[in-house]
Structure 1
Amino acid sequence: MATTEKAKEGGAIRETISVVIQAILLAVIIRSFIVQPFSIPSGSMKPTLLVGDYVFVSKWSYGFSRHSLPFSPPIFSGRIFGSDPERGDVVVFKYPPDPSKDYIKRVVGLPGDKVQLRDSVVLVNGQPIERLQNGMFEGDFQGRIIQTPIIQERMDNGAMYGTLDVQPGSSGDSTPVFEVPEGKYFFLGDNRDNSADSRYDVGLVPADHLVGKARFIFLSMENGTPAWHIWKWPSDMRWGRLFDGL
């Protein structure tokens, strides 16, 4: 009798372990090849993304590289089923100087493009991106609550999005021409005076550092509230931002 009970206990343990392993494998597959959630820790993409936003990123959009996998194992190079992002896409990528860090910015320059900022105006291949003011944005900038115009940009492919230029005439508003070689991309943050991007140490981002395309916001918490503080959702959730597409 005791032997039978022990056998049943052993079978239950093995079944539990098997279920756990299958769940982990399924989670790894989903995270690596289908969709991965990311949280927004900084204001570099204001007004599009705010600190406390959580976004879903599609992993298949640009193909797969070693950075699609957890911990970026060096098991192969390049991209499998690779394709170019489009200008205006919001993309998560690995920070080239330290691939353990994830960055999220907007694609402005594709391979073969020449990109320059001139008095806050973005030029792609010598053509200025259309700009117009579209409302005001109120937010915290370096510890001060201020209002600043939202400058809507419209690319030649129809992509439209808001940007901020809190300090017109700052050093990042006018740049040399960046020539984007094959296999690399030029990124800008929408919050142009408060973004580490391809104008600075991020540089031009290699294709195999692309992680995926940000699709939509699925949670948005203010006041620094962690998403798992469910009891604070009624007061701290930005309900109006849920499921906003990017």
Structure 2
Amino acid sequence: MAKTDKTGNPIVETIKTIVYALLIAGVFRTLFFQPFWIPSGSMKPTLLIGDFLFVNKMAYGYSYASCPSVIVPSVGINLDAKKMCGVFDGDNTRLFGSEPERGDVVVFRHPTSGHDYIKRLIGLPGDRIQVTDGIVQINGEAAGQVADGEFEELMELQGPQGLRPRCANGAVGQGGMCIKDRAIETLPNGVSHPVLNIGPQASDRTGVYTVPEGEYFFMGDNRDNSADSRLAQTAGGVGFVPFENIIGRADRIVFSSGGRSMLYFWTWRSDRFFKAIK
């Protein structure tokens, strides 16, 4: 007697395979690494528009913010982490939590909008932070800056949003060279990183911010083009960020594209592939 073929319905098997793959991908993204595209220029020159990286979620432990969220207002999708993992929200603690270090480049969830942001950690709980003439003061100690030449980029539309860079050398036409002053900033714990300056503006001179317990103060490396903790959430900024809103640490760039789409292979930045983030 011929052996009976017990192979299931191919459509059902395909659906099961897709479901299993999505479950595995969801667990991987929730517990280990989350992909992140750099959408704006607030972290130049450390991170450029079009850089693609994986966020290390194991670095600081887990909270409700570790759950993935998908927010696409244009098509009405709003699967926020709070809706899926809100049961873990509110106590400002983390499972297997460890404290981030000053100078880390961190991805976190905006306290009010729920969108993911990436900035550099400047202020720890209890710190007093102030900016005077563009220099960050941490507990009365200046984070010194040493001039490091200029940062140059073409004046052109950048990334899928078609953003134009701001320049220190005034109005620059399409295709012209946009220049910003570059410096190396050293934080009190010895971490050094590049920062950019466009020119004098209000955010170069602030009052004193006292970081509450359990919260953190973040700034972008592109200091004159960053909505960060210097602005309150009600004014379009970030304000202080609770410990539980931190998603993870950005360690390494995996891929980078300078064009409007990652499919434009002629715009790929091969010198940034697998580049460490410092």
Q: Report the TM-score, using the length of structure 2 for normalisation.
A: 0.80
CA distance in 2, matches of 1:150, 1:192: 10
* Residue type at the aligned position of 1:68: S
SS in 2 for 1:43: coil
Stretches of structure 2 that go unaligned for 5 or more consecutive residues are 70-80, 156-164, 232-236
Q: Kindly state the Cα deviation for residue 128 of structure 1 after the two structures are TM-superposed.
A: 0.3
Q: Is the 8 A contact 2:145 2:185 kept in 1?
A: yes
* Residue type at the aligned position of 1:194: N
Which residue of structure 2 aligns with residue 133 of structure 1? Answer: 147
Which residue of structure 2 aligns with residue 187 of structure 1? Answer: 218
SS in 1 for 2:19: helix
State how 1:23-42 maps to structure 2 within 5 Å: 23-42=21-40
193, 216, 219: which one aligns with 1:161: 193
Which residue of structure 1 aligns with residue 158 of structure 2? Answer: none
Q: Kindly state the Cα deviation for residue 51 of structure 1 after the two structures are TM-superposed.
A: 0.8
* Residue type at the aligned position of 1:219: F
* Residue type at the aligned position of 1:56: F
SS in 1 for 2:117: strand
Deviations 1:73-109 (A, max 9, x none): 202133211121111111111111211x111100000
Identity, % of aligned positions: 44
RMSD of equivalent CA atoms:
1.8
Which residue of structure 2 aligns with residue 149 of structure 1? Answer: 181
Q: Kindly state the Cα deviation for residue 148 of structure 1 after the two structures are TM-superposed.
A: 2.1
Stretches of structure 1 that go unaligned for 5 or more consecutive residues are none
CA distance in 2, matches of 1:206, 1:13: 46
Residue 207 in structure 1 maps to residue 243 in structure 2: yes
SS in 2 for 1:193: helix
State how 1:77-116 maps to structure 2 within 5 Å: 77=89, 78-99=93-114, 101-116=115-130
How many residues were matched structurally?
A: 235
120, 133, 138: which one aligns with 1:119: 133
Deviations 1:117-154 (A, max 9, x none): 00011011100012101121013434734222211111
Q: Kindly state the Cα deviation for residue 29 of structure 1 after the two structures are TM-superposed.
A: 1.1
Which residue of structure 2 aligns with residue 19 of structure 1? Answer: 17
CA distance in 1, matches of 2:149, 2:101: 26
Which residue of structure 1 aligns with residue 252 of structure 2? Answer: 216
Q: Is the 8 A contact 2:259 2:268 kept in 1?
A: no
Q: Is the 8 A contact 2:61 2:95 kept in 1?
A: yes
SS in 1 for 2:223: coil
172, 191, 197: which one aligns with 2:228: 197
70, 75, 84: which one aligns with 2:87: 75
* Residue type at the aligned position of 2:113: D
Q: Kindly state the Cα deviation for residue 63 of structure 1 after the two structures are TM-superposed.
A: 1.0
Q: Report the TM-score, using the length of structure 1 for normalisation.
A: 0.90
CA distance in 2, matches of 1:185, 1:13: 50
* Residue type at the aligned position of 1:98: S
Deviations 1:146-198 (A, max 9, x none): 2222111112222111001111x210001001000111000000011110000
Which residue of structure 2 aligns with residue 65 of structure 1? Answer: 63
Q: Kindly state the Cα deviation for residue 18 of structure 1 after the two structures are TM-superposed.
A: 3.5
